[in-house]
């Protein structure tokens, strides 16, 4: 058994407190958005044309502690304000691997496309199966934004096309593109951990795709550009993504709330003939043809 100590702090104080907790013997420390699940929830990003990655305004700093930790003494040693909000919970011993695996079953994306965790057999031997384990990088196919992108690729991508997956995360869209017959596929992300995860997943699926950091994007344009990110980065990235889409090529945008879709379409209409291609659980998929 362990103890989980959650402390409420604001802004950059989270980094200082995290370091202090580790120095005081915490086994692990993480930071969460204290406003998650509310209208004040904030996404973190760092894309060309935007400010550097930001910290949340309101944070939970979560420390994993040994069960025999003297928590009052630990708090006193950190010299925290007496009024600081904190929560203390016990964390039971579990078979974490088995628990995680039990929560993920194969996901049917379309008639001929499945996402299959590595510990499962593909339900349909004749279908295209993407082997993908849940990891630290976003993108397992279960979220509507990813699912709509996969469904568009399954229905519309033709063999021999070139594809750019901007904000590749786990690499799921790029890997699907290769398995659906794309000729050359490049995936980029701002997060090195995501790039490494995508490379591992490509190896697991026995496909060839070029994954790299977004600052190292090679020159050239593509038949299909897909970006499953967030509304604000997508708005700022329009010139870059337009420049990477060949005339007559297709752009696929996701990560957009349906209420925000018109705003994004208006910006991209400067370079594309845009349409709202699908809506799923309040999320919109936008597609466009490059003029």
- Tell me the sheet residues that pair with 279: 284
**Nearest in space to 174 (alpha carbons), one of 194, 232, 193, 191:** 194
152 and 89, same structural domain? no
| CA distance to 124, 167, 191, 283, per residue, from 108 (Å) | 10, 23, 28, 19
119 found inside a domain: no
* pLDDT reported for residue 198: 93
200 and 84, same structural domain? no
- Tell me what percent of the residues of the chain surpass a pLDDT of 70: 88
Residue 158 has what DSSP assignment?
P
Q: Which residues of 179-188 are buried (b: 16+ CB within 10 A; e: fewer)?
A: bbebebbbbb
108 found inside a domain: no
Instruction: Give the span between the Cα atoms of 156 and 283, in whole angstroms.
Output: 20
248 and 147, same structural domain? yes
281 and 154, same structural domain? yes
* pLDDT reported for residue 136: 45
- 66: domain CATH number is 3.30.70.120
- 267: domain CATH number is 3.40.50.150
126 found inside a domain: no
167 and 78, same structural domain? no
Domain with 180 in it: 138-290
114 found inside a domain: no
* pLDDT reported for residue 12: 79
174 found inside a domain: yes
271 and 153, same structural domain? yes
How does residue 37 score in pLDDT terms, banded at 50, 70 and 90? confident
231 and 158, same structural domain? yes
Give residue-wise pLDDT tens across range 239-270.
999 999 999 999 999 999 999 999 999 999 99
230 and 172, same structural domain? yes
53 and 146, same structural domain? no
Taking residues 2-27, report their average pLDDT: 90
246 and 158, same structural domain? yes
Sole residue written with tokens 């697991």? 204
Q: Which residues contact 106 (CB under 8 A, 6 or more apart)?
A: 114, 115, 116, 117, 120, 122, 123
Taking residues 35-49, report their average pLDDT: 64
H helix or E strand, kind and range, residue 114: strand 113-116
Give residue-wise pLDDT tens across range 190-225.
999 889 989 999 999 999 999 999 999 999 999 999
Last residue in a domain, options 58, 93, 128 = 93
SS3 108: strand
Last residue in a domain, options 37, 72, 93 = 93
180 found inside a domain: yes
* pLDDT reported for residue 94: 61
Taking residues 157-162, report their average pLDDT: 97
* pLDDT reported for residue 61: 94
Per the CB < 8 A criterion, the answer to whether 209 and 174 are in contact is: yes
Sole residue written with tokens 């229905």? 155
Per the CB < 8 A criterion, the answer to whether 171 and 197 are in contact is: yes
- The structure's pTM equals 0.69
How does residue 82 score in pLDDT terms, banded at 50, 70 and 90? confident
Taking residues 77-90, report their average pLDDT: 90
Q: Which two tokens stand for residue 201?
A: 């997943």
Domains in the chain, number: 2
88 found inside a domain: yes
- Tell me the sheet residues that pair with 254: 228
Last residue in a domain, options 39, 58, 93 = 93
158 and 81, same structural domain? no
* pLDDT reported for residue 57: 85
How does residue 178 score in pLDDT terms, banded at 50, 70 and 90? very high
Q: How confident is the prediction for the chain on average, in pLDDT? A: 88
């Amino acid at each position: 058994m362990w103890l989980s100590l959650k402390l409420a702090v604001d802004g950059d104080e989270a980094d200082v407190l995290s370091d202090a907790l580790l120095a005081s013997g915490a086994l692990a420390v993480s930071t969460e958005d204290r406003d998650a699940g509310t209208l004040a929830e904030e996404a973190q990003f760092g894309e060309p044309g935007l400010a550097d990655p930001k910290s949340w305004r309101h944070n939970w700093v979560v420390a994993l502690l040994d069960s025999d930790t003297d928590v009052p003494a630990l708090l006193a040693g950190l010299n925290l304000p007496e009024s600081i909000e904190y929560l203390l919970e016990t964390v039971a011993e579990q078979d974490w691997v088995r628990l995680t695996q039990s929560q993920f079953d194969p996901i049917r994306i379309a008639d001929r496309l499945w996402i299959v965790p590595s510990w499962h057999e593909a339900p349909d031997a004749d279908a295209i199966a993407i082997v993908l384990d849940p990891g630290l990088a976003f993108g397992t196919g279960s979220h509507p934004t990813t699912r709509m992108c996969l469904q568009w690729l399954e229905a519309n991508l033709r063999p021999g096309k070139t594809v750019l997956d901007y904000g590749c995360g786990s690499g799921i869209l790029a890997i699907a593109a290769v398995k659906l017959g794309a000729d050359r596929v490049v995936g980029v992300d701002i997060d090195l951990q995501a790039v490494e995860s995508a490379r591992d997943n490509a190896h697991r699926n026995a496909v060839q795709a070029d994954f790299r950091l977004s600052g190292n994007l090679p020159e050239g344009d593509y038949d299909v550009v897909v970006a499953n990110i967030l509304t604000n980065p997508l708005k700022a990235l329009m010139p870059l993504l337009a420049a990477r889409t060949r005339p007559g090529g297709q752009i696929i945008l996701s990560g957009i709330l349906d209420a925000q879709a018109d705003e994004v379409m208006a910006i991209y209409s400067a370079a594309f003939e845009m349409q709202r291609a699908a809506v799923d659980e309040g999320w919109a998929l936008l597609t466009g043809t490059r003029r």
